[in-house]
Amino acid sequence: MEDRLKKALIEIVGEKNYNDSLIDMVSYSYDASEYTHRPSCGVWPQTVEHVSEILKLANKEEMPVIPRGGATGLTGMAIPLKGGIVLDLNHMNRIKKISIEDRLVVVEPGVVYDDLARAIAPYGFFFPPDPASSQVCTLGGNVATNAGGVRGAKYGTTRDYVLGLQVVLPDGRIMKTGSQCIKSVSGYDLTKLFVGSEGTLGVVTEITLKINPMTTASTTALGTFDDVEDAGRAVSQVMHSGILPAVLEILGKEAIMAINQNTDLNLPEVDAILLSETDGYTQEETDYQMSKVLEVFKANNAKEIKQAQSKDEAAGLWAARKSAYAVLARLKTHQVLEDVTVPMSRLAEALKGIQEISKKHNIMIATYGHAGDGNLHPQFVYDGYDQDQVKAKRAASDDLFRMAIELGGTLTGEHGIGMQKARYMCWEHDDVAMDVMRSIKRMVDPKNILNPGKMALDEG
Amino acid sequence: MRDNMEAKYDFERKFRDQVLQCSRCGFCQSVCPVFGATLRPAYNARGKMLLLKEVMDGTLDLNDELIETLFQCTTCGACAENCPSGVEVPEIIKQARKDMVHIGSCHPAFTGMNKVLKEHDNIYAEDEPEDFERERNGKAEYVFFIGCVGSYREDERTTATLDLLDYLEVDYTLIDEVCCSGVLEDVGHPINEKHVRTNIDLIMATGAKTVITGCPYCSRTFNNKKQYAELKEKGVKCIHLSQFLKDIDIGFKTDKKVTYHDPCDLGRHCGIYEEPRDTIRKIAPNFVEMRHHHEKALCCGAGGGVRGAYAANSIAMARRRLEEAEEAGAEVLLTECNSCVHNLANAKLRKQKLKIYTTTEFINLLREED
Amino acid sequence: MEVQGYNMPEDLYYEENHLWVREEGDLLVLGMDDFAQRMAGDIVYVQLPDEGKRLKKGKKFAKLESGKWLGKAFAPVNGELVEVNEDLEINPGLINEDCYGEGWMYKVKPDDKAELGDLIKGAEAIEKWIAADLEKYAQE
């Protein structure tokens, strides 16, 4: 890091909010993905003015800036691929406002999801999109990737809840988008442009989120299936049941086995388990909804049906589901998680297709995910030191995305593109769409300093 | 990639698979006390595992630059408790510290501590122990082993404990104890065999069948370190004070709202959660738990040598724990570890009305009020 | 003035365990002197007793800690503690940074200001005292 630039950054944030020591640079080289690259330094901005000054400086010096929150992203969004300054937003972690009557909260990007949940729970409210990483992920990141979570089928994703943002553009200008109203159609919807933009169009420094009243009753149940296609068909047919479960998750055999290694749950190690939750305001109602779901399970050859007998038991099952990504790490040295999403009617085919790809390339693919909105999480688990397995994984990935797109699906339901899926962007998007995306990027970031090298925006 | 090369360090030989098992999920960030107080990812378990992975891959070598993170860990074990991928971080860190010391790279506080224990019989290099005005090295059913913190930094609380034991007419004797020296192995150095020998000899000479320790660190050392196995072999049991008290009906009561802080060394490291609570619930029916308790208890920040080497951060961690006590509405916070109580008491702000005691100190207080 | 490299202002009174004392109107301001602060190293904790506490001359009334050392503050006079430097709660390092200024510790209302006469004062007395202490520490 050039001394002159170091001095300039310290001038902005103060000496204790700048670091370039080895141990920090190593941490900042990684997120939860498989990628790594060293940055030049890290800074901890405390205010939006800091962020603005830093971007102004970086823009002038043509130095890359990479925003970073909890760094739980799986696609390499927070990796400083071209070096530069890591903008560690974790110190901007205040919940600035809770307004129950306006049904909203205003938060800084470094607020951890679970901390927000805990702050609004006493009012009987919750923020529905809850990613599996909720105990560590930060809301700035959730906005950057339009995070989903297990309640997506009924409650939607982050984008459905962002009412407005404060954003700092790559040239340092500070902009407000959206409003404090539940709905608005005033001008272009800039808010929705920035949600899911993966830190490539601007740095989010304040988020206004819509929140929902909590439901007070719920029913949780699981069904076991000896054939994963049966499970897939069951999921599609739940759409005919007349009700919408709050959660409908699938766990494949490898995921079940890994979870059993980490907990005392002793889940039956079958081809697939469907885990569902219905919610509402009376137990009678949620039980009724669940009975509809279970009818569909039974009609599709569910072998065993089990209902959770207590809130603790239900909580245990959901905690296990949320740990699926990391428990699979016990099996082999490397794992890469994908999140291809297909239309609900094609789910059974997708599940079968994944099994075939796994057989064809002789590589383990553990599948689990948000079956209720068609969002699967096929996880490649392999020995990353074995070059044959690395090659097999690459080829299997190609087949996976090819299949998903053929089924009318999309590369990613909620994790984003980042580095991981950049090379497949042109498989899903036509040339015109890619051109428009790149034009928008060039317009707000002509020097390409903000999180460069991601989302295939640099090519073309 | 260094997969086919000879492992260069012991931490690789023993823990290679586990280091590789780290999936980088970051769940440890939500429970790590050092990360919680500093928000610096380099200090978090994930950050440490990433460094060690790079060492294993040959990208980095162990060196002085790693001291700041490898020696700044209370080894509280919350990360391991919360890790879905099964990485036993504290064990890996302790072994990496040994590797660091082996190549001459160590935090000066711990090099200093090792030296101090070679020349003195306690970690503070104090030459005169507090005189607790009790018999030492007598013959009795129990030995009460105080520990360094209790002897030299929390002597008033130790006096309260001894007053209570006297009131309960326990047949105990003190000994001219020296540091159990268990802390050394946690910070990269070997246990001090001379001190081990002194302690064992003094204990055996009393004829006692049970050693009661005031400090969970000491009881963990006596029970788990092979150098102290001789005690067990010779039929001497070592228990912590909370285990001794749990069946005794002490009889004093308070209606204050009381909470309990699980010391890492008693709780996560030894599985002792209920015995202290049994005693406390008897004297304080108005008992509340903090947000993080039992296996999820939040570390006070003193352990693993951090209070000695990184005192400011150590106290910052203790402040976070006190916030949880306030959040629970507690008027009194009790704990069973002198190290914890020392750090928490130092961290308490003047405006915080909360009172902090060891359990026995509190019981003794109630007795005196009676 | 400088005594063997330590900054020991001549116009202050000193209690032999290394507290400095300065008159401020009716009150006395107390702090830790440069000699002690350097011996101790980074101060990590300072005990700040409640206002109103009675101080007994020669007796310990508060403790402080650095990474490796536990120190005691001894009352230089009989009196009452009326104010403490609350900044030291969050930033005990002020004692190391500016022991005679921002790192002041306690303010005391003395029973009898004449007791100041029992303390160390003046260049000659300070020099002798520091020299003796240096010898004492060298032997340890």
Domain ranges of chain A: 3-90, 92-213, 218-321, 326-417
Which chain B residues are within 8 Å of C51, Cβ to Cβ? none
Given pLDDT bands bounded at 50, 70 and 90, which one contains residue C62?
very high
Query: Is B127 domain-assigned?
Result: no
Task: Choose among B153, B308, B346: nearest Cβ to C67.
Answer: B308
Query: Is B225 domain-assigned?
Result: yes
**In Å, how far is B152's CA from the nearest CA of chain C?**
9
Which chain C residues are within 8 Å of B124, Cβ to Cβ? 68, 70
Query: A459 pLDDT exceeds 80?
Result: no
Name the maximum alpha-carbon separation found in chain A.
70
Query: Is B347 domain-assigned?
Result: yes
Query: Is B118 domain-assigned?
Result: no
Domains of chain C: 2-129 (2.40.50.100)
Which among B114, B135, B134 has a CA at the least distance from the CA of B123? B114
Cα separation of B67 and B108, whole Å?
A: 10
Which chain A residues are within 8 Å of B27, Cβ to Cβ? 133, 135-136, 326
Task: Please report, rounded to a whole number, the percentage of residues in chain A having pLDDT higher than 90.
Answer: 87
Instruction: Out of A200-204, B72-76, B130-134, B326-330, pick the least confident.
Output: B130-134
| pLDDT at residue number C99 | 95
Task: Choose among A23, A32, A262: nearest Cβ to B42.
Answer: A23
Nearest CA in chain A to B57: A385
User: Is the CB of residue B60 less than 8 Å away from at least one CB of chain C?
Assistant: no
Asked if C68's CB is within 8 angstroms of B124's CB, the reply is: yes
Task: Choose among B124, B315, B349: nearest Cβ to C44.
Answer: B315
Over residues B350-364, the mean pLDDT reads 95
Query: Which architecture characterizes domain A326-417 according to CATH?
Result: 2-Layer Sandwich (3.30)
Task: Choose among B20, B23, B47: nearest Cβ to A326.
Answer: B23
User: Is the CB of residue B268 less than 8 Å away from at least one CB of chain A?
Assistant: no
User: Is the CB of residue C86 less than 8 Å away from at least one CB of chain B?
Assistant: yes
User: Is the CB of residue B44 less than 8 Å away from at least one CB of chain A?
Assistant: yes
Range of the domain at B340: 258-369
The answer to whether A218-321 and A326-417 have equal CATH topology is yes
| DSSP summary character for residue B121 | S
Task: Please report, rounded to a whole number, the percentage of residues in chain B having pLDDT higher than 90.
Answer: 91
Verify that B238 and B268 share a domain, yes or no. no
Chains near C (3 or more Cβ pairs under 8 Å): B
**Domain count within chain B:** 3
Tell me which of B5, B17, B27 to substitute to probe the interface with A (most A C-beta atoms closer than 10 Å). Answer: B27
Chains C and A touch (3+ CB pairs under 8 A): no
Query: Is B114 domain-assigned?
Result: no
Check if the beta carbon of residue B333 is closer than 8 Å to that of residue B325: yes
Give pLDDT tens digits for B150-188. Answer: 999 999 999 999 999 999 999 999 999 999 999 999 999
Nearest CA in chain A to B24: A32
- Mean residue pLDDT across chain A: 95
Over residues A138-163, the mean pLDDT reads 95
- Tell me which residues of chain A, numbers 225 to 244, contact chain B at a CB-CB cutoff of 8 Å: none
Question: Does domain A92-213 fall into CATH 1.20.140.10?
Answer: no
Query: B7 pLDDT exceeds 90?
Result: no
Of the residues B106, B133, B154, which one is the last residue of a structural domain? B106
Which chain A residues are within 8 Å of B292, Cβ to Cβ? none
Give pLDDT tens digits for A309-363. Answer: 998 999 888 888 888 888 888 888 899 999 999 999 999 999 999 999 999 999 9
User: Is the CB of residue B349 less than 8 Å away from at least one CB of chain C?
Assistant: yes
**In Å, how far is B30's CA from the nearest CA of chain A?**
6
Which chain B residues are within 8 Å of A75, Cβ to Cβ? none
Of the residues B202, B220, B245, which one is the last residue of a structural domain? B245
- For chain C, what is the total number of helices (H) and then of strands (E)? 4, 11
Verify that B222 and B305 share a domain, yes or no. no
Q: What is the CATH number of the domain that holds B241?
A: 3.40.50
Over residues B43-51, the mean pLDDT reads 97
Which chain C residues are within 8 Å of B308, Cβ to Cβ? 67-68
Query: A239 pLDDT exceeds 90?
Result: no
Query: Is B124 domain-assigned?
Result: no
Query: Is B219 domain-assigned?
Result: yes
Verify that B287 and B231 share a domain, yes or no. no
Query: Is B59 domain-assigned?
Result: yes
The CATH number of the domain covering residues in A3-90: 3.30.43.10
Nearest CA in chain B to C91: B312
Question: CATH number of the domain at A218-321, out of 3.30.1330.120, 1.10.10.410, 3.30.470.10, 3.30.70.2190?
Answer: 3.30.70.2190
Listed in sequence order, the residues at least 6 apart from A385 whose beta carbon sits closer than 8 Å to its beta carbon are A333, B1, B3
Positive or negative: CA dihedral A204, A207, A210, A216: positive
Check if the beta carbon of residue A150 is closer than 8 Å to that of residue A220: no
How many CB pairs lie under 8 A apart between chains B and C? 30
Task: Choose among B153, B311, B349: nearest Cβ to C67.
Answer: B311
Given pLDDT bands bounded at 50, 70 and 90, which one contains residue C101?
very high
Query: B47 pLDDT exceeds 50?
Result: yes
